[in-house]
Amino acid sequence: MLEIRNLELHVTHACNLACESCSHYSNQHHAGNLDLAEAERWMRAWAPRVQPRTFSLLGGEPSIHPRLAEFIPLTRRYFHDSILRLVTNGFFLHRHPDLPWALRDDPHAELHLSVHHASAEYMERLEPVLDLVEGWVNEHRIRLVLYMSHRHWTRRYGGFGAEMRPFEDGLPRQSWDACPAKYCTQLHDGRIWKCPPLAYLPMQAAKYALSPAWQPYLHYRPLDADCSETELAAFFAREDERFCGMCPAHPEPMNLPNPLRAPNLPHDSE
């Protein structure tokens, strides 16, 4: 069993926010919830092989998934010793009255509330969420982490949809050194992927006719669960590689536009 730093799982690709240049492409109108039985097959295949210090449930926006709370005991069944981290923007947590019970019953589970903007409009919309989670903390003693993600936002690619383009600075080592996702390996489609931009790029390409500039990065091959021990160790020991060149070598902080979407858009629904 190989100990790794972090493993992440999308429970849904849909998101109610539209954060510009999201590294998961969650601003690009994707949809689809992960079936729990399928998630269990993926976990069962990898649990004997890797031991993540942290296992992260996210998306997309995970609270869009109607059976979110069930992912807590499911993940714990296979990754016994990991810190279990649920990362959410919080706006749909009220849909999950059973979630605080699931979090309370797991002594190593944490709720990470990610704040994506500091505007008055955003914070006003967030007030009921903060009241809700404060009640959960007081009543159920769940562990809450409040993270101001908008303060650390950088552009991961240019454009949107079919106009999206990679940076291609030609300095993959520098891109790796500066990468905020270099320890965000993804469990997706039953395989392990180096990072979110590579894991969900095929999904992006299937939805939009991306330019030929993306073809070299679409040739990335993730790690299969039946890989050899040598392949497994080499995968997690590998730092920069040519695929890192799609991301900026010198990322600069950006002023994230308000990511709130109109509440009645189709991609806000389950």
Question: What would the pLDDT profile of 208-227 be if each residue is shown by its tens digit?
Answer: 999 999 999 999 999 999 99
Look at residue 261 in the predicted model and tell me its pLDDT: 72
Angle among Cα 110, 58, 27 to the nearest 5 degrees reads 140
- Give percent of the chain above pLDDT 90: 94
> Among 193, 87, 101, which residue's Cα sits nearest to residue 140?
101
> Among 131, 44, 133, which residue's Cα sits nearest to residue 86?
133
Q: Determine how many CB atoms are found less than 10 A away from the CB of residue 80.
A: 10
Average pLDDT estimate for 130-157: 96
Could you give the CA distance from residue 86 to residue 250 in angstroms, rounded to a whole number?
A: 30
- Per-residue pLDDT tens over the stretch 228-245: 999 999 999 999 999 999
Quote the pTM value.
Answer: 0.94
How would you class 256 by CB atoms within 10 Å of its CB: exposed for 0-12, middle for 13-18, buried for 19 or more?
buried
- Per-residue pLDDT tens over the stretch 33-85: 999 999 999 999 999 999 999 999 999 999 999 999 999 999 999 999 999 99
Is 270 inside a domain boundary? no
Q: Is the pLDDT of residue 255 over 60?
A: yes
Is 269 inside a domain boundary? no
Is 185 inside a domain boundary? yes
- Give percent of the chain above pLDDT 70: 97
Is 33 inside a domain boundary? yes
Look at residue 268 in the predicted model and tell me its pLDDT: 40
* Element spanning 13, H or E: none
HSE (side-chain half, CA atoms, 13 Å) at 149: 17
* Element spanning 255, H or E: none
> Among 188, 193, 113, 183, which residue's Cα sits nearest to residue 150?
113
Structural domain boundaries, residue 183:
2-263
Is 255 inside a domain boundary? yes
Q: How confident is the model at residue 253 (pLDDT cuts 50, 70, 90)?
A: confident
Is 107 inside a domain boundary? yes
| CATH code at position 119 | 3.20.20
Look at residue 265 in the predicted model and tell me its pLDDT: 39
Is 123 inside a domain boundary? yes
Number of folded domains that form the chain: 1
- Per-residue pLDDT tens over the stretch 60-74: 999 999 999 999 999
Q: Is the pLDDT of residue 204 over 70?
A: yes
Look at residue 266 in the predicted model and tell me its pLDDT: 39
Is 14 inside a domain boundary? yes
Q: What is the mean pLDDT of the chain?
A: 95
Average pLDDT estimate for 178-206: 97
